[in-house]
Amino acid sequence: MNFIKKNMKGKRFIALICFLILSFLIIIFIRFFIDSEGYHVCIPVKFNSANLPVAKVQIEKKEFYFLVDLGSGIPLSVDHEILKKIVDKESLGIATTINIRGNEYKTQSYFIPRLKIGNLSFGLPRIREICDEDINSRSYGIPLKKTLGIVGRPLLNKVNLLLDFPRSRIIASNQLNKLKKMGFDLSCFTKVPFEKGNAGIIILINTDLGIKRFLIDSGSTSTLISPVFFKGIELFKKKYDMFVFTSLKFLIKDQDFGKNDLCLLNFDAANFDFDGILGMDFLRKHTMYIDFVNKFVYVKKEE
């Protein structure tokens, strides 16, 4: 009888040990997967002569500074000479692109195994040769040094991004507590939903012309508006060889960001579904967090 009791106690003790070990392994498993899904990477940026952000990228252990362009629908575009020197690439044939003015151009397209931006690594990005017309359409008459490459939205939208251009950096992060410790409490930002349009991220902004649909574009020097809203209105002020309308109000939800210059530029209305472009003249002043997973944009007015 005593033997049976001792045996039962032994089995209970072993079961308890097994339970504790299993619980420990489950906790480790959960923590591992939570950590593996989390990311927080700071990417320093510089600004070129057209006030557009450029960041360091790595292809086949070679480093370059490429334009970071949320308005580009091409994952990766590179200079002809760089493309020629990439050894490991697979041809995808000819790719057709339509720019903001509706002009169509064709370039050779490839797959490459990997691209690094800072400490972020992207597998199998699609890459094509850069087009001079594509570059010139971004600077709007501002003298621009040769651009070696462009990182576009199909790569950038794989992670949530804090566009902290006032402090010359982009932070790829879904760790809100870490962002808060850095001084970016998203509860203090203006939060608005965004729409995924055919050209990118679109938010509503209330201007002197009414509520308009603006595309967020870090590849545009200026904030732009379609001239269709100015029929019968005579404008005299010019900026970068474009007529300018100054909107005295610029409200994102209920936060007024004050007067903003809107440069008039003809868009290809048949291919694009926005009224204007929110460019680097705005993004360089105000911090913005883009939550691609939940489709929200957070904007903080910098004093």
In a shared domain, residues 97 and 139: yes
Q: Are residues 242 and 163 in the same domain?
A: no
What number is the average pLDDT over the span 88-112?
85
Q: Is residue 33 part of a domain?
A: no
- Is there a single domain that holds both residue 50 and residue 77? yes
Same domain for 194 and 149: no
Using pLDDT thresholds of 50, 70 and 90, give the confidence band for residue 98.
confident
Render 3-64 in DSSP notation, one character per residue. HHHHHHHHHHHHHHHHHHHHHHHHHHHHHHHHHHH--EEEEEEEE-TTS-EEEEEEETTEEE
Asked whether residue 15 is domain-assigned, the answer is: no
Q: Rounded to the nearest 5°, which phi and psi values hold at 71? A: -90, -5
Phi, psi angles (nearest 5°) of residue 300: -115, 125
148 and 244 belong to one structural domain: no
User: 261-279 as b/e, with b when 16 or more CB fall inside 10 Å?
Assistant: bbbbbebeeeebebbbbbb
Specify if 256 maps to a domain: yes
Which domain-ending residue is among 141, 171, 201?
171
Residue 277 has pLDDT above 50, yes or no: yes
For the cut 50, the answer to whether the pLDDT of residue 28 exceeds it is no
Query: Which two structure tokens, joined as six digits, stand for 136?
Result: 């010139």
* Residue 29 belongs to a domain: no
1 belongs to a structural domain: no
pLDDT tier, 110 (very low <50, low <70, confident <90, very high otherwise)? very high
Residue 126 neighbours by CB under 8 Å, 6+ apart: 74, 75, 76, 92, 109, 110, 111, 154
- Which CATH number characterizes residue 127's domain? 2.40.70.10
Q: Which helix (H) or strand (E) holds 140?
A: none
Whether 115 and 56 map to the same domain: the answer is yes
Domain boundaries, position 291: 181-300
In the prediction, which pLDDT does 3 show? 45
Evaluate whether residue 27 is within a structural domain.
no
Residue 16 lies in a domain: no
Could you tell me the pLDDT band of residue 140, with boundaries at 50, 70 and 90?
Answer: low
Same domain, 185 and 156: no
Domain count, the chain: 2
Q: Which of residues 146, 171, 196 is at a domain's end?
A: 171
